[in-house]
Chain A
Amino acid sequence: MQPQSHAFKDNVRTALADANLQRALDRFKGGFAVKRKIVADKLPEFEALRDEAKGIKDHVLANLDLYLERYEAKVVETGGTVHWARTPAEARAIITDICRSVDAKTVTKGKSMVAEEIALNDHLEAAGIRPIETDLGEYIIQLRKEIPSHIIAPAIHLNKEDVAKAFREAHTHRDPARPLDDGGVLVGEARAELRERYLAADVGITGANFLIAETGSSIIVTNEGNGDLTQILPKVHIVLATIEKVVPTLEDVSTILRLLARSATGQEFSVYTTLSTGPRRDADLDGPGQYHVVLLDNGRSGMLGTEFQDMLRCIRCAACINHCPVYAAVGGHAYGWVYPGPMGSVLTPSLVGVREAGHLPNASTFCGKCESVCPMKIPLPKMMRHLREREFEGALSPPATRFGLSVWGFFARRPALYRAATGLAMRMLGWAGRREGRFRSLPLAGGWTSVRDMPAPQGRTFQAIWAERRRG
């Protein structure tokens, strides 16, 4: 899809005023985070595993071309085909051609953020091929013609009434009077609908959580089993993955898998972790006859060797999103593209540019929670700071911000003046707010006080108190 990240500020206003969305987000807050903490605490080696996982991916990124070549050779050796794509257009053309080569009418799809990134569904439809999302959340948002609002829980912004409405409108062959107020009934209806689609599909498309250089395998990790039915029933399995997904060995992927589910959903292990290697073997009774891997770059190679290379360690677990106070307040659609939350605030500007997505790295309180829970130890706040610098250097930040920063910069470069000015300001504000202890409005701070009060300072600066304590 075309990124809409430039509209972030408007999107935020809409999101904050959307009562339905806020109801859904209330359910989200804390849910995954609490579960993550419980399972992480049950594994004493969790922190050490984070260091190991980081080391594995750093090693791969430092040798990425070699690992890609060795991975490709293994895929070919096991009977699969590797297709290279620089751009979304190239990836889409490759996939469309494979579908046409088997005269495909419908394709089933496992959840793939890369497929969202290249807007694959729109292009398949335009080519006369019907794509059917099979992950329940993706199925729901496909019916509603929306994009995912979360990378592992695509329909997290919805309430079950929204799902019931979408099912009534789409499943018109069913009794219109059927009760749909129970989540379990909704799951059952989707299961029954999709079962027929799996069996009828000509091609199955999945993403990949990892590609293994040692064996030429691709891995998907799911809880529903939809990605498996997607790839074992049709004649053709297409894997769509970006180049940074490769890991060296089965041992290395085992290490990272110990972190993935725990960080994502707070499970000890996801229900289905599936390694696919080539097409079905001659004697097999089931499985796809063709296995294709589409390896997409789409901007990743441009991040290598820059201050954003660490982002390529990301395993898309969503822990940063699940712990982000900004995401929890506005939801995923406000971010305007495929990747929301802290990882999106770094990845989106890296892939589509600061001009389009410069707002996103500003949408952070820098509380640091994202980095502290990231299984791959990606320094997300540091990278958001780099992006803010780029925005400033590119003269893309708004004039008021630039003016404010230059005023602040004038004082910050003159420490004595800075201490005097801030000391005076704190005393004045402390005096002015002494009665209520807070301000309902302040000049030049309407953006803050329009939605919350500003606590009145206690009268002294942090620097003054700090200096006194060090002396004392």
Chain B
Amino acid sequence: MTDARSQILGLVRRARGERADAAAVDARLAARRPNLIPARAQLPHAEQVALFLKMAAEAACTVERVAADADVPEALATYLAAQNLPAEVRIAPSLAGLPWDRRPTLTVRPGKADPADAVSVTGAFAGVAETGTLMMLSGPEHPTTLNFLPDTHVVVIRASQVVGTYEDGWARLRAGPGTMPRTVNFITGPSRTADIEMTLYMGAHGPRRLHVILVDSDPS
């Protein structure tokens, strides 16, 4: 008996006849050539940042903009208070270096998400302007569970991390980390469902709230 693999590949090969072109396939995989790129996000960087914030807000994120890292603890504490959320958050290890001690009332614990965590705070690898999408890479510095388990997810992203398109995100990934992490999450707004009577409800399984804090300056 032929095994399933060779039989399936054999059937596929027979069906397509002689047209296959291994050199063309390998060239395409190596070239990774972008296809048509919509004009929407082909903008100067400052306008890409503005588009990113606008599209994220349209996807039901709440967004705010601060000048520098030093402003993040204050912005976070103010946001949590306004939402009546506890000042106790799980942070991605990548954010451990922010000056959290500026707000001593905030309790920040780095690590992966615990089911009891109400709020997570993470960074992002990139922000994609064309649809207001956050691009997250999994790794020891950014456990994926932080993106999904807590009720509220706060994302701290730098203006310099905003790119125009998904393709720009892939280009940064190839130039930076180089290899694919276990998980790449593109996140566009908070979790939602319309499975009951086609009515939209937020917070189906993932976070009910997604708050974006955009930091204008890079750390000096």
Residues in chain A within 8 A of chain B (CB atoms): 24, 27-28, 31, 43-45, 48-49, 52, 56, 59, 61-70, 78, 84-86, 90, 134-137, 140, 153-156, 158-160, 163, 183-184, 186-188, 190-191, 194-195, 198-199, 213-217, 223-226, 228-229, 232-233, 243, 248-252, 254-255, 257-258, 265, 267-281, 283-287, 295, 297, 301-302, 304-306
Contacts and interface: CB of A to CB of B under 8 A. Distances in A.
A251 B12 contact: no
A86 B180 contact: no
B181 interface: yes
Contact of A281 (B12, B139, B204): B139
Given A223-B204, A251-B170, A258-B38, A70 B29 contact: yes
B11 A191 contact: no
Nearest to B131: A269
Contact of B204 (A78, A187, A304): A187
Given A250-B32, A284-B139, A284-B182, A187 B193 contact: yes
Given A28-B198, A70-B29, A43 B191 contact: no
Given A90-B4, A277-B181, A305-B17, A285 B111 contact: yes
B206 A229 contact: yes
Contacts of A86: 4, 7-8
Given A274-B185, A287-B144, A78 B32 contact: no
Given A224-B204, A224-B206, A281 B9 contact: no
Contacts of B36: 45, 48-49, 52, 255
Contacts, number: 264
A63 to B, nearest CB: 5
Nearest to A230: B205
B124 to A, nearest CB: 14
Contact of A248 (B13, B28, B139): B28
Given A68-B12, A268-B55, A286-B112, A251 B35 contact: yes
Contact of A184 (B55, B149, B201): B201
B183 interface: yes
A285 B193 contact: no
Interface stretch (B18-26, B101-109, B212-220): B18-26
5 tightest CB-CB pairs across the interface, nearest first?
Answer: A225-B206, A304-B15, A224-B204, A137-B195, A305-B15
A295 to B, nearest CB: 8
Contacts of B161: none
A350 to B, nearest CB: 13
Output the residue of B20, B35, B131, B187 with the most chain A CB within 10 A.
B35
A271 B189 contact: yes
Given A43-B38, A45-B39, A268-B188, A284 B29 contact: no
6 contacts: A187-B201, A228-B147, A269-B59, A283-B139, A285-B145, A306-B15
A195 B115 contact: yes
A122 to B, nearest CB: 22
A270 B189 CA distance: 9
Contacts of A63: 16, 19-21, 24-25
Given A56-B35, A229-B205, A277-B183, 15 more contacts: A65-B9, A66-B22, A70-B25, A154-B195, A190-B204, A191-B203, A216-B180, A249-B28, A250-B167, A251-B35, A269-B133, A271-B190, A276-B182, A280-B138, A304-B11
B19 to A, nearest CB: 5
A251 B203 contact: no
Given A137-B195, A301-B8, A254 B165 contact: yes
Nearest to A273: B186
A140 B165 CA distance: 36
A271 B192 contact: yes
Contact of B197 (A160, A280, A305, A306): A160
A269 B115 contact: no
A272 B165 CA distance: 16
B9 to A, nearest CB: 5
A67 B189 CA distance: 33
Given A232-B144, A277-B180, A277-B182, A271 B206 contact: yes
B191 A271 contact: yes
A191 B190 CA distance: 14
